[in-house]
């Protein structure tokens, strides 16, 4: 469990490094945002690539940034489920492994977003 928390922290740190898009998740406990990189999303999913192209810019971005941060709504996807998938999209060591614990999430979300994870 401690390793999973450490892996999630490493993932969130990587996703927070110069992000250009904010993924917005709406759940029972409110709305949560996660920073991400549009290029990584677009490389792995034609569905997300089109969504990124159509995503509006956030009005809460600072005026000093060269480009406004885009916001991408992630309907029907929880933050936890997306972070499970994102572990396979971002090049972070140690490499994640598919297990019975994450298999259903990977299959459902992979199908939903037509994701293509290339072997490393």
Q: What's the rounded Cα separation, in Å, for the pair 27 and 110? A: 20
Residue 3 has pLDDT above 80, yes or no: no
Range of the domain at 85: 2-112
- How many domains is the chain built from? 1
| DSSP for 14-83, written as a single string | HHTSS--EEEEEEETTEEEEEEE-HHHHHHH-HHHHHHHHHPPBPTTS-TTSSSPPEEEE-TT--HHHHH
Whether 120 is in a domain gets the answer no
Whether 119 is in a domain gets the answer no
55-106 per-position pLDDT tens digit? 888 765 444 445 678 999 998 899 999 999 999 988 877 788 899 999 999 9
Whether 107 is in a domain gets the answer yes
Whether 93 is in a domain gets the answer yes
Do 34 and 82 meet the contact criterion of CB atoms below 8 Å apart? yes
Distance of CA 26 to CAs 41, 79, 94, Å? 19, 8, 30
Do 14 and 90 meet the contact criterion of CB atoms below 8 Å apart? yes
Whether 22 is in a domain gets the answer yes
Whether 15 is in a domain gets the answer yes
pTM of the model: 0.79
> What's the CATH number where 95 sits?
3.30.710.10
Do 51 and 35 meet the contact criterion of CB atoms below 8 Å apart? no
Whether 29 is in a domain gets the answer yes
Whether 117 is in a domain gets the answer no
């Amino acid at each position: 469990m401690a390793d999973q928390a450490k892996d999630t922290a490493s993932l969130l740190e990587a996703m927070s490094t110069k992000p250009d898009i904010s993924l917005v998740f709406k759940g029972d406990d409110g709305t949560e945002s996660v920073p991400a990189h549009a290029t990584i999303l677009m490389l792995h999913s034609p569905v997300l690539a089109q969504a990124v192209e159509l995503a509006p810019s956030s009005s809460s971005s600072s005026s000093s940034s060269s480009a406004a941060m885009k916001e991408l709504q992630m309907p029907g996807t929880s933050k936890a489920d997306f972070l499970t998938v994102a572990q396979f999209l971002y090049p972070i060591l140690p490499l994640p492994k598919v297990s019975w614990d994450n298999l259903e999430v990977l299959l459902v979300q992979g199908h939903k977003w037509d994701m293509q994870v290339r072997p490393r």
